[in-house]
Structure 1
Amino acid sequence: MSIEKLSIARLTTNEWEKAINSITLFWDTAPSQETIVKFLSNYQNILLSAELDNAPVGQLIGYILERWDKNEPMLFLYSIDVAENYQRRGIGKALIEAVRKLGRIEGCSEAFVLTNESNLPAMQLYQSTGGKRSNPDDVVMFEYD
């Protein structure tokens, strides 16, 4: 299938069913209509859907984060997902380019994404899209209940 036919769009509250279908393709849980509509209604929450022939093949979840130290917000790329049989065809790159363009429109001064050094496909994707590693350490995240 040709990547030229790829369409990427930011999903809106009117597209809540499409959002649920996209999320359940890549995640083990399905949000409720109420939850996804609430998520999509906040302009700081971003869900981009990549489709080929009206079928989801990728998505990007991101957040516009207000800062205390600058007037400009920053863009956090939380999750970039591409269906396994469509990987390494430029869909991930296209999603990152689309969200970075959106971030610039929204006035974001920078964008960032977290991954583990052991996640080689992600490391290659982020490096190939111009991402610069900020430090040589592996990422460690602590979670609290």
Structure 2
Amino acid sequence: MDFQHFTLKRLTPDDISLLRQLNALFGNAFSDPGAYGSEPPTDVYLRGILAKDHIVALVALAGEGLAGGLVAYELDKFEQARREFYIYDLAVDENYRRQGIATSLIHRLRDIARHRGAWVVYVQADHGDDPAIALYEKLGVREDVLHFDIGVD
């Protein structure tokens, strides 16, 4: 297998274009382009999001192109003085899969989490998403839980 060279980058408020590309990648990878592109936020909103320390957007770049990325959120806990990070979205462009990009992104997030005093990084996977489940089982301990979306309207 021919592995491509890639670099990891944490997005800053100056990386709006890369964040928009990442959202498009998520929409494509999750077969939900409407959720990630039909009502894009303004540049001002995105700059504000990227300026927050508790929100982490990481990308893997292959040359000038976007190969993959993740978005994670830092959560402060009440039961102990500690934090955890939740990987909300993670995707790799189909042309760059099986090259260690997702694993590298998670390792970089673990470094950030450790530096911020977190005790764990967690992620959920959908039933039937066997590649994601295999990756997460390789990196961590599986917990079988149920997920519920509770509407606010």
- In the other structure, the counterpart of 1:108 is 118
- In the other structure, the counterpart of 1:24 is 24
Find the residue that maps to 2:125 and give its secondary structure: coil
Find the residue that maps to 1:109 and give its secondary structure: strand
Q: Which segments of 5 or more consecutive residues in structure 2 lack a partner in the other structure?
A: 28-32
- In the other structure, the counterpart of 2:105 is 95
**In structure 1, C-alpha distance between the alignment counterparts of 2:25 and 2:149, rounded to whole Å:** 27
Q: CA deviation at 1:60?
A: 0.5
Find the residue that maps to 2:53 and give its secondary structure: coil
- In the other structure, the counterpart of 1:131 is 140
| Percent identity over paired residues | 23
**In structure 2, C-alpha distance between the alignment counterparts of 1:23 and 1:6, rounded to whole Å:** 19
**In structure 2, C-alpha distance between the alignment counterparts of 1:23 and 1:142, rounded to whole Å:** 21
Find the residue that maps to 1:89 and give its secondary structure: coil
Q: CA deviation at 1:34?
A: 1.9
Find the residue that maps to 1:88 and give its secondary structure: coil
Q: CA RMSD in A?
A: 1.6
Q: Is the 8 A contact 2:7 2:62 kept in 1?
A: yes
**In structure 1, C-alpha distance between the alignment counterparts of 2:149 and 2:58, rounded to whole Å:** 27
Provide the aligned length of Structure 1 versus Structure 2.
141
**In structure 2, C-alpha distance between the alignment counterparts of 1:56 and 1:98, rounded to whole Å:** 17
Q: Is the 8 A contact 2:26 2:90 kept in 1?
A: no
- In the other structure, the counterpart of 1:84 is 94
- Per the normalisation by structure 1, the TM-score is 0.89
Q: Is the 8 A contact 1:11 1:47 kept in 2?
A: yes
- In the other structure, the counterpart of 1:36 is 46
**In structure 2, which of residues 75, 79, 82 is the aligned counterpart of residue 72 of structure 1?**
82
Q: Which segments of 5 or more consecutive residues in structure 1 lack a partner in the other structure?
A: none
